[in-house]
Chains A and B, each alone.
Chain A
Amino acid sequence: MKRIPLSRRTLLKGAGGVAIGLPMLEAMEGSADAAAAGQKKFISFFSGCGVTGETFFPTGTEKSFTLPGSVTALTKYKDKMIFFNGITNASGNDPQYGGHQGSHVGMISGSPFVLSADVADPDHYEKMRPKGISLDQKIAQKLHSPGNKFASLQLGVMNRPSGNNFDIAASFTGEKGLLLPEPDPLAIFKVIFQDGATSATDTAAADLAHQKRKSILDFIKGRYTALNARLGADDKARIDQHLTSIREIEQQLLAATSASCVVPSKPASGITPEKDLDGYAKLQFDLLAAALACDLTNVASLTWFGTRGGDFNYKNVIKGVTITGGHHGLSHNQGDTPQITAINNYIAQNITILMDSLDKYKTSTGGSLLDTTLILWWNELGFSNAGHESSPAPFVLAGGNGGALKMGRFLDYTSKKQSNNNLLLSVYNAVTDSTESTFGDPRYCTGVLPGFA
């Protein structure tokens, strides 16, 4: 429970300024304003391996609806959620490729996958790569401001898979642009908060690290610029990109010095999902919430385990239902609906814990960070154990959009199907205050969801 500033921190108050309380520090609650007044935030929450539609989609009307077994845990925040039914995963629902991976990419990008020539393996599944850009990355392009240390962050509550990285990728910018989640809380803490200090209290070390990095960056920028001046066009394109990357590192460094923020306690090392999934997930949620509250970024994705090889066996954390195998294996079996239902309700429960973490950052006007953070929970399969199909696609919105989006609703499109591209477009326009007319592969997009805004 430390309340320690980053280097050169100034605790600003009043118009335009921010002062951030710790999630753990109840005494601070109510007295601290959350991240830059009214700044909208977005979290893409990907949980892999599928839901079973029969226990996932609500029944009822827009304002009066019942939550079935896979999402009953969300009752706590029912008035801060939007549920959907009748969304088709138009670009990723190819019945011939089908299954986990083909659906996964289309679900969040509205574009089909490609088979990469870069993957030295003739196994078709290993070659699958995204063609388009994921929703969070598209939003990040719009919401990234120079004051943010990071354009976006990718976190994971998962194990690092030994095989296909694609299984855990929730964020991507194209075929070669997978942005992989970091599952280690300590590594995240170091990247986003610590800036070279050996402990959270070590501001002198952080200042020294900053001085060192600035002098190194000045030098290497000069070296790459000098090299660039004597290169032909082909080589220049590559060195230009290297130089741009160095400038981005510099921007992260400079942004860190002006951040006004209180860092959470340094996480312990060696925490794994197998040892303590609840505690581990909570740590990641608290770090994510703090990063958003500190304006280190406005956009994040979180991979809650992945598809296929990235799956998890929940036998030790789920009570009341006997779990007989990993989530991926169960998703291929008929008759495992009770297990899949229990797994998804456990994930739903964790979404409420993430919402709790966000809600602890109170504003002086009585709201919280949760009111300006929109979470999109998605999954690649809507009916995992029937036809292994992704449609109707399981999307749930949680949190708030700064009051600009009415929450507490169930939007049922079963009689007039809507593509996931339409849903992605609607969310994109809402979070970024845009009026775009298409998202992803335009063949699958007809416009924003009727009655959404």
Chain B
Amino acid sequence: MAKSNTLVFFCLLSIGLIGCDHAPDRSKYGVRLGGTQAPVPGANGDSRVPDGVLKSTAALTGPTPLRRLTNNDYINTVTDLLGDISSLNIQLAKESSSLVYPFTNHATEQYVPTALANQYFGAAETIATATFKDKSRSDKILICTPVRGSEETCATNVLTALATKAFRRAATPEQISGLLDIWRSGFKAVDFNTGVEWALAAVLQSPEFLYRIEMGTAQAAPGVVALDSWDMANRLSYLIWNSAPDPILMDAAKNDKLKTVAQVSAQVDRMLAMPAAHDMVIHFHDQWLGLETIEAVQKDPKTFPNFNKTIALAMRDEVRNFVDDAVWNGDSKLQTLLSGHYTYLNKTLGDYYGIKGLGADFTKIGEDKLGGRPASGILTMAGMLAVRSNANDTSPTRRGAFVRSAMFCQAMPNPPDNAIFTAPVSKPNMTRRELIEAHATNPTCAACHNLMDPLGLAFENIDAAGIYRDKEAGKTIDVSAELFSTDVDGKFVGPSDLASKMSTSKTVADCVAKHWFQFAYGRDPLAPDANFVKEISTRLTTTGTISAIKYLTQTPQFFYRTVSEGAK
């Protein structure tokens, strides 16, 4: 099935939906759906958790640390509030992530050093100034016309509406009074609009904007409270859209209609049909698969003269197109992500791989049309393997380490303090396999490298710059490999075999489930969360990823909040 034009990266960004009432219609990755609503897979047979069961498990909620907007959330939220800001070049400090926690939303790691506070400050000023330089933008905020002599009445209305939207819950009198103080300074010093501009700059760095502050309602278990509908609107929108609630969710919150599983499920189904939900799935995979740094990847120009940033970005888009298809079309199962025998290519990437006859848009291509190049889901994607290579040669170690840590959730230890980082010395006509087997001869190295190298050697048919090859140093490449210390141990040949093994591995499914838990809840799962992670894992391999995402909105972790010690 051709899917041309489905993903047109970045060119849709400029179609600003300023102050649009259906902001999540925008997709920053250029996802475009046919029609206004797309069918949501995995809905059939998707049992809903009854409210009563939820209440009885409320005590298993686990910690709910205060979460700050990730940089991605921040840009999306500002965009939904004020319109496209991509031309403003907003810089926020790089967030930390790791192979075992690949997402930038780890709540307890979200500190704000002075440098970041300065960036928030500068960004707020820049955005506020730009908003009031463009009448089409400021008009969306200036909802009334000030009357000479009683400007404050209009200012109060403007700031109440602005704060409610930006803080994503009904603004309090205390907040409005503080914002009016700022407005008065600007109004006296310059004019009405300047006052609002200054207040907007303050709104954009308030804790109510930068953090997801939850209030909660009645106690559901000792130390555990149910969310109020505003809390729920925010949890839903930041999970499914990585952005602020839209007007429909805000209305539901205002009318307190986000209390039951049925009410929440109806919103979830509606929300999953929007392009921003596709963006969220892409964002998960970008981070999980470590593709966010692909722009910075450089290859030795002598060995790989055709590799450049355009190619690197096209490789990332290949993964995104494939992921979007595997998750939203067809069975949505994890097995398809790992082993689907197809990919998406366009002319740029086709020319680079040596596959002819492709158009400008990414199109679905079966493995049989790839001229020998293996296609086994995300595992064989050039982008995945090029990121985990050296500048002039592959790195079975890094490729193997990635599969181990990201997909089996087995953290690879750092090399011991007495490790010698001398690269093995290459001799003429030596293959990478022969070279890397040096690790196995040194018992100190072998202990860990046996977990990585034999696994990584399965990918040797894709070189350091993502090109298919069947020979190296004049010899036919051997892609036989072996897995140790997993639940699917044994010898295998090439990535397709590996994918088959991984598709039956419970460890892999549990690992991906753990990553979805992290992505959804901003923390690592703990012992009381085990059953919920297990259910996510089951769904990933039976009813599929979208079904697992739905389940994430039906757990006690999602419906309740733990009141930590000392909190009010």
Give me the interface of A with B, judged by CB distance under 8 Å.
96-97, 115, 117-125, 127, 162-163, 176-177, 179, 208, 211-213, 215-216, 218-220, 222-224, 226-227, 229-236, 238-239, 241-242, 244-246, 248-249
Contacts and interface: CB of A to CB of B under 8 A. Distances in A.
A211 B99 contact: no
Instruction: Please list the 8 inter-chain residue pairs (A to B) with the smallest Cβ-Cβ separation, ordered nearest first.
Output: A232-B564, A245-B117, A232-B567, A235-B66, A230-B568, A242-B112, A122-B401, A245-B114
Contact of B98 (A119, A163, A222, A233): A119
B396 to A, nearest CB: 12
Contact of A215 (B185, B564, B567): B185
A231 B421 CA distance: 47
B190 interface: yes
A227 B207 CA distance: 8
A179 B113 CA distance: 11
Nearest to A94: B417
B357 interface: no
Nearest to A118: B96
B198 interface: yes
B421 A97 contact: yes
Given A219-B182, A223-B178, A118 B97 contact: yes
A227 B212 CA distance: 12
B421 A220 contact: no
Contact of A212 (B179, B201, B418): B201
Given A234-B63, A242-B207, 7 more contacts: A115-B414, A117-B98, A162-B298, A222-B178, A227-B213, A232-B567, A242-B111
A437 B99 CA distance: 41
B542 interface: no
B495 interface: no
A120 B97 contact: yes
Contact of B118 (A220, A235, A249): A249
A231 B113 contact: no
B65 A249 contact: no
Given A118-B96, A211-B189, A232 B565 contact: yes
Given A211-B185, A216-B182, A231-B567, A238 B97 contact: no
Nearest to A231: B567
B42 interface: no
A158 B388 CA distance: 28
A235 B110 CA distance: 10
A119 B405 CA distance: 13
Interface string B204-226: 01111001010000000000000
Contacts of A224: 207
A441 B547 CA distance: 53
Contacts of A218: 181
Contacts of A249: 114, 117-118, 121
Interface in B284-341: 290, 295-296, 298
B420 interface: yes
Which one of B117, B124, B186 has the greatest number of beta carbons of chain A within 10 Å?
B117
A224 B112 CA distance: 12
B130 interface: no
Given A219-B179, A223-B178, A223-B208, A238 B66 contact: yes
A235 B418 contact: no
Nearest to B188: A211
A248 B117 contact: yes
B207 A212 contact: no
Nearest to B190: A208
14 contacts: A96-B419, A118-B97, A118-B98, A120-B99, A162-B296, A162-B298, A208-B189, A212-B186, A216-B182, A219-B181, A220-B206, A238-B108, A238-B110, A248-B114
Interface string B146-170: 0000000000000000000000000
A115 B412 CA distance: 13
Nearest to B93: A180
A383 B393 CA distance: 29
Nearest to B102: A120
A101 to B, nearest CB: 11
Contacts of A223: 175, 178, 206-208
A81 to B, nearest CB: 34
B13 interface: no
B111 A238 contact: yes
B563 A232 contact: yes
B403 to A, nearest CB: 11
A120 B211 CA distance: 25
A236 B566 contact: yes
B402 interface: yes
B261 interface: no
B112 A245 contact: yes
A96 B421 contact: yes
Given A117-B98, A235-B65, A122 B110 contact: no
Nearest to A102: B421
Nearest to B568: A230
Contacts of A115: 414-415
Interface in B553-568: 563-568
A120 B290 contact: yes
A177 B296 CA distance: 22
Contacts of A96: 418-421
Nearest to A117: B98
A127 B206 contact: no
A239 B213 CA distance: 12
A236 B65 CA distance: 10
Given A236-B566, A246-B117, A220 B202 contact: yes
B506 interface: no
Contacts of B190: 208
B438 interface: no
A212 B132 CA distance: 15
A411 B503 CA distance: 67
B4 to A, nearest CB: 32
A239 B66 contact: yes
A236 B108 CA distance: 11
A176 B65 CA distance: 21
B430 interface: no
Contacts of A121: 398
B435 interface: no
Contact of A233 (B182, B211, B565): B565
A223 B118 CA distance: 17
A245 B113 contact: yes
Given A120-B290, A223-B178, A234 B112 contact: no
Contacts of A235: 65-66, 564, 567
B397 interface: yes
A226 B564 CA distance: 17
A234 B418 CA distance: 37
Contacts of B415: 115, 124
Given A232-B567, A234-B564, A219 B202 contact: yes
A320 to B, nearest CB: 29
Contacts of B198: 212, 215-216
Interface in B82-103: 96-99, 102
Nearest to B421: A124
B248 interface: no
A176 B111 CA distance: 11
A160 to B, nearest CB: 11
B116 interface: yes
A216 B398 CA distance: 48
Given A211-B185, A223-B178, A122 B66 contact: no
A214 B330 CA distance: 56
Nearest to B100: A117
Contacts of B179: 219
